[in-house]
Structure 1
Amino acid sequence: MVFDDYFRCYPISMMPDTSRKEDANFGGKIFLPQTALHKLTMLNIRYPMLFTIRSETSGLSTHSGVLEFTAEEGRCYLPQWMLNTIDSEPGSLVNIQTSDLPQGSFVKLEPQSVDFLEISDPKAVLENSMRNFTTLTVDDIIEIDYNDQTYRIKILEVKPESRSHGICIIETDLETDFAPPVGYVEPDYQKLKEDADKAKKEKAMSNPALKGQGAMAKQINYKDLLKEAINEATKGKFDGEGIKLSGKKITEKEKVKVPVIDSDELDLSGPVKPLILPDGYLFFGYSVKPYKDEFDDDNKRESNQDSKKVVFEGQGQSLRNSKKRKDMNKSHPSIKDKARSPETIIIDSD
């Protein structure tokens, strides 16, 4: 059995009960009277209840679900975008029949404005908005509300395909694809890249830090450092005076004058020249003082002091001029006191 009846259609904004107007107007469900619920229960219609809505004046049709059975008898209330889809005016006669739509697996959407691209997470917005829809039909332009702004989205394609050109999106995994929004023009990425590089180069060349006027240049006193570097570069390694072979001194006119560069008039905005340095060297743009570790300096000082210490401070003695030991045993008689043995011993033979 099929439910088939005629109603006068009106937009949801004309409902006497204003409690759910805003949410229902951005969805895909309609309001029917109590008599429709009684007929549906008698026909044992399976859930979810899906309907085909056809305009008697334009002949256009779409699909929807039902939200509540609270409308007046003989009336049905539709979202405004649904009235625009079937091209019906308030009070027009529409035919509503039960329908059986397949479970959808794919839908392709086309935003009707480039403003849709400003949404940071369109997938999450659509997932939340699709909870108010039961069906999707090809060529319908639905409306969703996000951040107090209305976005219109056209249904370009649905799968699986059927004669009704619609799908049911209740309790199904729906794959979503987006077409470029209406009015969207693909940008010229090559030109955008060139313009960005040009603007970046102009900004870098106009940087006041290159001329010693930036905040960092003031912090490190770049002008004075540059002057010191110029003086060191222009200062001669030999400051003596030259003398001719004839013995005469060189006059002031004959001396080679070294040009003096004024650092205030330097312009570093010209083309960059390659800086070729030996391996292991870095150029920072100003004089660098070598880092000295206080711990290493203390160790060096201690090592120098240790090297100056005298390890042996004793006094050497010669063996020939050595002094007699004071603790000699005086009980032994001195050798000088003993009588010397005669050089010749005479033996008397008598």
Structure 2
Amino acid sequence: MTAKTTKEAADAAREREPDGGADEVEAVASEQDEAVEDAPEQQEEDPQAGAEEAAGRPDAARPKRKRRVRVIEVIDDDEDLEDVLQAIEAEDDEDEPPARPAAKAARTAKPAAKASLAKPAAAAKPRPERLESPEEDAEERAASVPMRPARKVGPFSYTPTRPPKEHAGSSALVSVVVTVVVAALLASLAIWQWTRASDLASDKDARGDVSKVALQYGDVAFNYNASNYQSQAAKAEKLMAGDLLDQFKQSTLPGLAAAFKSDSQVGMSSKSTDVFVGSVNGKFATVVVMVDIGLQTKDGKVSQPATLLRLALAKVDGKWKVTKQYPSGVNDSNQNTGSNGLVPGSSAASPSPSATKSTPKN
């Protein structure tokens, strides 16, 4: 063991002092090894002399204590460490032979230990890089994300709160439902507005048609003379319907023919000046027409300006027709009392020959 330790010290010194210092250390180590090897031989050759000499010189017989030097090397490579440990275990397992064989074994083990210690550092395996934990990766990614600037807070500012993740699905469903409901309401409103606009447009068109028929009726209702009463009667019939048309054909038209036949100078004229449309419900309507009426006789002319006539109209075969006629102050309850004036279809409408005939002078 002393030789082995000394040789290891020499190897370590050689590595530290590559020049002359290492040779000196090795020489000293060799001398110590030889002294250790020769000591057992001398004891074997002359044991008795050695014993006597040791008895005579007890202090001199005791061998001088030698200083042992241990060189500790820090091994980083796992393979080198395993080799050294295996070598140590192999040395421990071997039985301890006599001194000389032990020295020889130490000499033979010296090159192996020297070779294991002299391996170049360049042959060491590269260390694997340290793997970063997922938490560190998440922290680095969070640090790389740019921070959003802080929201300014004022007296009138409002920061909506974010719903929790567990309510995200329900919030999305509520948003979809609200969107559908709003879209349905907007569609209903658009349809209602379109329908209302369409109704107003159709009502406006209907009122225009009603007023046009009423003005035409006022121009022909009281416009007769001996030469044109037949053509005017035909125009009036086109604007009439219902009871008014039947009454005009049965009584008014024959009365006009008899009056103009007895006195050809009798004539009537009418001109519509204004119209006021009342209610129009798509199939029925009420109108007030203002007419200037004039009566011509051989004695002179009588005028009735701004005469108001109330007309009831109905839609027949897609066209507006006058079905009833009321002068001012007359309705269905007092129409047959005979108080109506010059109205087509009434007895007072046709000028009577006796009313227009002048009495003969004596």
Fold conserved between structures, TM > 0.5: no
Q: TM-score range by the shorter chain?
A: under 0.3
Larger radius of gyration: 2
Higher relative helix content? 2
The alignment's TM-score, normalised by the length of structure 2, stands at 0.17
The alignment's TM-score, normalised by the length of structure 1, stands at 0.18
